[in-house]
Amino acid sequence: MPSARAGRILVAALAGAGLLVSGCARPSVGSDRDDPTKPVTLKFWHGWAERGEVKAVNDSIARFEKAHPNIKVETIGNVTDETMNQALRAGGSDAPDVVSSFTTNNVGQYCSSGMWADLDPFLKKSGVDKKKVFPKTLLDYTQFRGRQCALPLLADAFGLYYNKDAFRKAGIDRPPRTMSEFARDAVKLTRRDKDGSYRRVGFMPSFRLYQNSPDRMFAQWGPTYFDAKGKAALAKDPRSKDFFRTQLKLINAQGGYGPLEKFRTMFGDEMSSQNAFLTQKVAMHMDGEWRGRMLKEAKAPFHWDTAPLPVPDDQADTYGRGYLNGTVIGIAHSSMHQNAAWELVKFLTTDTDEVVSFANAIHNVPSTFGALNSPKLDADPTFRAFLDIAKNPHSSAPPPSNNGGQYITALQDFSYEVEAGRVPDLDKGLRTLDAQIDADNLQSEN
């Protein structure tokens, strides 16, 4: 059945079974004493819903079942984090054994609540050295306060898409590598009609555009969100002010916030044929690795390529870095078949050929060193740029928190005010932002 309908039926079934309940401060207790060689059926819940992605998941499960004939896996897709968490709180035979999520910001909650089992004992028992298997950044966003409750299941890397035809006509021979080059090229690439209205901007800096969430661009600075004691530290880090000042320079160099916002509202939907990069309303664009496949399927009427996003001028040696996040997978603490569940998690996350096959199928970045360096990986040069970003030691992801990344939401709201020119004193504004983040974290812990 269509995955969207499957999701609705799942919610109704859970409600009927009494699983959609709130409260339950402690998760249901499962068992890690099961024999994974005995016949068993596992329930695997995931969020993929697009037909090709669901097929890729099912193909992976088929490969697993062939290698483990005693384990059958029932999959349910298009499951939201909220539905999954409600079922995990309640536990019971209808709850999942293996769970995955697209929301890395929620890992802190999964780990601190205990709803996702600690995977370190399973890794140790299997002889898997996680630091040798997974890139550090991906490990960082799958654990919280020393608890490895999740593992990476493919990743997303964010980089720069650029219109090669527009670059050639503007006399630009390569993508920008520093923020000063970025601003210079953005101005050169901007085109206006005779009445002064925009025909194209070099780069649309608005934090409200598509994937332009401020934390993704901020990754180019290597920011410090929290100090060693867990207190918000954005106001103390000079890179925070430099980030916002650079953003304002980009805005002002291309005509100012008001005109740019007016032009942005004329852009089409991100996932449609009216995407602003596809329709050449922007010459440079920040996006994830999946955009390349979409541009090819849409037969973009111009030549394009990919590169890492620029970095601050005083960090030129870090060029090649980028923002990373991705899908995470774990074992439900309530599962009575945790050893069998681990066999599935281990297969999906550490088997090099499996990770490569899945990455190629859904055009995501693989999440292990072995898969990143595999000759079987998609050789498309426009995809390779994102593989290099994933392997770059300077690439980063926002740290997990105990409240599902509420600090990222606070950063977004603050960033909207900054770009609109409504924060005259950045120092004061950043101190207020830190105080808000600390208050939100304290409330979550109480």
**Can you give the residue range of the structural domain that contains 231?**
159-322+400-445
| Count of domains forming the chain | 2
231 and 314 share one domain: yes
What pLDDT shows up at residue 26?
57
Report, as ranges of residue numbers, the positions in the chain whose pLDDT lies below 70.
Answer: 1-28, 446
Cβ-Cβ contacts under 8 Å for 378 (sequence gap 6 or more): 359, 360, 363
pLDDT tens track for 206-216: 999 999 999 99
What pLDDT shows up at residue 187?
98
What pLDDT shows up at residue 286?
98
121 and 204 share one domain: no
8 Å CB contact between 287 and 210: yes
User: Among the three residues 349, 367, 391, which one is the final residue of a domain in this structure?
Assistant: 391
8 Å CB contact between 324 and 312: no
Token digits of residue 216? 């993704």
375 and 231 share one domain: no
What pLDDT shows up at residue 10?
42
358 and 408 share one domain: no
180 and 53 share one domain: no
Cβ-Cβ contacts under 8 Å for 391 (sequence gap 6 or more): 135, 372
pTM score > 0.85 for this model?
A: yes
CATH of the domain at 136: 3.40.190.10
Residue 315: phi and psi, rounded to 5, are: -125, 35
8 Å CB contact between 221 and 315: yes
What pLDDT shows up at residue 27?
61
User: Among the three residues 371, 391, 411, which one is the final residue of a domain in this structure?
Assistant: 391
220 and 194 share one domain: yes
What pLDDT shows up at residue 64?
98
